[in-house]
Structure 1
Amino acid sequence: MIEHSARRSAAILPKNKLFLLFRIGAERYALEATEVAEVLPRLVLKPIAQAPQWVAGVFAHRGTIVPVIDLSALTFGHSAQARTSTRLVLVHYRLGGDRPVQWLGLILEQATDTLRCSPHEFKAYGLDNPQAPYLGPVREDEHGLLQWIRVQDLLSDAVRELLFPERPISLGPVEAMP
């Protein structure tokens, strides 16, 4: 009887999730670990001309060109500090429809710790910010507030199309060399 009751209680309790913790300046943020494909050291990127300043560039990874955004520049308008703990984090970005999941690189400061907790510990903070829909609920602990970043809400439609064009870019007809 006790064993059955314990199983039922475990089924009712929310499952804990693992989060990757990082900072933007002094502020703390979290990404759900299931969205993280890989954590890399900061790499040299090829810049993209005329892209928004928070698009840090692209790099080649395992045969794929990966666009990278600087989350500090996107959120607060200034580039991430170049620290030994600044990482390039590859996340799974779902384009929607029948398009395949792509890698998106995020430059994150102090991305060195994890936290396991219930997602229900994160609470709405009462501010609807349409300019930053990726800023999710917050969790309070002994270090202050921790905010959940929602990967799927990072890119606007226009930026998604810039970084992941639906159709390949055409260079036009190629003339034969004499």
Structure 2
Amino acid sequence: MSDPAAKRGAVTAAKKALFLVFHIGSERYALKATEVAEVLPRLPLKPIAHAPMWVAGIFAHRGNMVPVIDLSALTFGTLAQARTSTRLVLVNYQPETWLESRWLGLILEQATDTLRCDPADFQAYGLDNRQAPYLGPVREDERGLMQWIGVGDLLTAEVRALLFAPDLSVGEAR
């Protein structure tokens, strides 16, 4: 015996995705939780010479060197505020589907909430912001607009080359 209302509820739940919600200033943004590897407190970073100002530095985590960017500085040119709710969020950065994903750290303000919603609730907002291709569609709710951040679009090829050494095949000169 099956309950049709229960089936509808299961289908609705299956369409929903979990998002990590954070702020840049007073504006809300979201990352899809499946792209988040780990949420850490803010940690000391080693600066990277000749990197853009929004590249916060690098740190060692579980045997890996992880580059970190300040999303507030990247987006609006203002460093993230040092709050107790400011987090270092490790994301699985994969700019192309054929490339192996790597950890990229993001400094995010007020990264303490989650939201479960249908990804289709986020809609294109009609602007062609070529300078910030990572700024994705928006979702409206009772608190205003929230924008989805596309992790794979965060870095230009030039910055990606600076932060991630190319993988050399066995036998290639180093």
Both proteins in one fold, TM over 0.5? yes
Using the alignment, how far apart are the partners of 1:95 and 1:140 within structure 2?
27
Kindly report the root-mean-square deviation, in angstroms, between the aligned alpha carbons of the 2 structures: 2.2
Larger mean Cα displacement after TM superposition, 89-98 or 18-27: 89-98
- Residue 77 of structure 1 is matched in structure 2 by 77
Using the alignment, how far apart are the partners of 1:13 and 1:44 within structure 2?
39
Using the alignment, how far apart are the partners of 2:39 and 2:63 within structure 1?
17
8 Å contact from structure 1 (residues 14, 120) kept in 2: no
Residue 100 (structure 1) shift = 2.3
- Residue 61 of structure 1 is matched in structure 2 by 61
Question: Percent identity over the alignment?
Answer: 70
Which letter does structure 1 place at the counterpart of 2:119? Answer: P
Using the alignment, how far apart are the partners of 1:153 and 1:96 within structure 2?
9
Using the alignment, how far apart are the partners of 1:97 and 1:152 within structure 2?
9
Using the alignment, how far apart are the partners of 1:86 and 1:110 within structure 2?
5
* 1:18-37 superposed matches below 5 A: 18-37=18-37
Using the alignment, how far apart are the partners of 2:68 and 2:157 within structure 1?
16
Which aligned runs of 4 or more in structure 1 are off by greater than 6 angstroms?
none
Deviations 1:34-90 (A, max 9, x none): 000000000000000110000000000000000000000000001000000000000
Q: 1:5 to 1:54 in 2, by over 3 A?
A: same
Structure 2 residue 127 is matched with structure 1 residue 108: no
Q: Which structure 2 segments of 5+ residues have no match?
A: 169-174
Structure 1-normalised TM-score?
Answer: 0.87
Which letter does structure 2 place at the counterpart of 1:152? Answer: G
Structure 2 residue 106 is matched with structure 1 residue 129: no
* 1:43-54 superposed matches below 5 A: 43-54=43-54
Q: Which structure 1 segments of 5+ residues have no match?
A: 169-178
Structure label with greater radius of gyration: 1
Q: 1:25 to 1:161 in 2, by over 3 A?
A: same
